[in-house]
Chains A and B, each alone.
Chain A
Amino acid sequence: MPDTYLQLVNSGPTATLAKRLGLPRPAVLRRYTPGAPLVDGPVLVLGRGDDADALARLLSGPAGGMAPGTGTGSGTAETPVLLDGWDLEVHRHPAPDVRYGAVVLVLTAAERPDQLTDPVLAAAGPVKGLRSGGRVVTVSRTATADDAPAVAAARQGVDGLLRSLAKELRGGSTGNGVVLTGDVPVTAPSAVAALRFFLSRRSAFVDGQLLAVDSTAGTLPADWERPLDGRVAVVTGAARGIGAAIARTLARDGAHVVAVDVPAAGEQLTAVANEVRGTALQLDVTAADAGERILEHVRARHGRLDVMVHNAGITRDKLLVNMAPDRWSSVLAVNLESQLRINEALLTSGDFTDEPRIVATASTSGIAGNRGQTNYATSKAGVIGMVRATAPLLVPFGGTANAVAPGFIETEMTARIPALTRQVARRLNSLQQGGLPQDVAEAVAFLASPAAGGIVGRTLRVCGQNLVGQ
Chain B
Amino acid sequence: MARTPARSSSPAPSDPTSSPTARPAYVLGGNRVPFARAGGPYAHASNQDLLTAALDGLAARYGLQDEVIGQVAAGAVLKHSRDFNLTREVVLGSALSSRTPAVDLQEACATGVETVLLLANKIRLGQLESGIAGGVDSASDAPIAVSEGLRRVLLDLSRARTVGQRAAVLARLRPKDLTPNPPRVDEPRTGLSMGEHQALTTVEWGITREAQDELALASHRNLAAAWESGFFDDLVTGYRGLARDANLRTDTSLEKLAGLRTTFGNHLAAPATMTAGNSTPLTDGASTVLLGSAQWAADHGLTPLAAVVDAEVAAVDFVHGEDGLLMAPAYAAPRLLARHGLTLDDLDYVEIHEAFASTVLAILAAWESETFGRERLGLPGAFGSVKRERLNVHGSSLAAGHPFAATGGRIVASTAKELHARHVAQVAAGDDSPVRALVTVCAAGGLGVAVLLEAA
Contacts and interface: CB of A to CB of B under 8 A. Distances in A.
B60 A273 contact: yes
Contacts of A312: none
Contacts of B300: 301
A264 B237 CA distance: 8
B301 A263 contact: no
Interface string A259-286: 1000111110111011001111111100
A277 B301 contact: no
Given A264-B243, A282-B233, A283-B233, A274 B301 contact: no
B137 interface: no
B65 interface: yes
A422 B233 CA distance: 36
A270 B303 contact: no
A210 to B, nearest CB: 40
A302 interface: yes
A266 B240 CA distance: 10
B74 interface: no
B65 A267 contact: no
Nearest to A267: B238
B20 interface: no
B161 to A, nearest CB: 51
Interface string A410-447: 00000000000000000000000000000000000000
Give the interface size bracket for A toward B.
20 to 34
Interface string B50-64: 000100110111110
Contacts of A278: 63
Contacts of A266: 57, 236-238, 243
A279 B61 contact: yes
A267 B240 contact: yes
A273 B63 CA distance: 8
Contacts of A303: 301
Contact of B230 (A274, A279, A284, A302): A284
Contacts of B62: 279
Contact of A274 (B65, B232, B240): B65
Contacts of B66: 277
A278 B60 CA distance: 7
B383 interface: no
Interface in B263-300: 300
A267 B303 contact: no
B238 A263 contact: yes
Nearest to B241: A267
A303 B302 CA distance: 11
Q: Which of A264, A279, A280 has the most CB of B within 10 A?
A: A280
A273 B230 CA distance: 21
A271 B94 CA distance: 11
Interface in A231-267: 259, 263-267
Contacts of B238: 263-267
B285 to A, nearest CB: 14
Contact of A263 (B59, B65, B95, B243): B243
Contact of A301 (B60, B236, B301): B301
Contacts of B95: 274
Interface in B28-67: 53, 56-57, 59-63, 65-66
A300 interface: yes
Contact of B56 (A259, A270, A283, A301): A270
B179 to A, nearest CB: 39
B239 interface: yes
B187 interface: no
B304 to A, nearest CB: 12
A263 B236 contact: yes
B60 A269 contact: yes
A17 interface: no
Contacts of B234: 281-282
B60 A270 contact: yes
Nearest to B243: A264
Given A300-B302, A302-B301, A280 B233 contact: no
A279 to B, nearest CB: 4
A368 interface: no
Contacts of B57: 266-267, 270, 280
Contact of A267 (B232, B237, B301): B237
Given A267-B238, A274-B95, A281-B61, 7 more contacts: A266-B237, A269-B60, A271-B56, A274-B56, A274-B59, A279-B62, A303-B301
14 contacts: A263-B232, A263-B238, A265-B238, A266-B238, A267-B237, A267-B239, A271-B60, A274-B56, A274-B65, A277-B66, A278-B63, A282-B234, A284-B230, A302-B301
**Which 6 pairs show the lowest CB-CB distances between chains A and B?**
A273-B60, A280-B60, A266-B237, A270-B60, A266-B238, A274-B95
Interface of A: 259, 263-267, 269-271, 273-274, 277-284, 287, 300-303
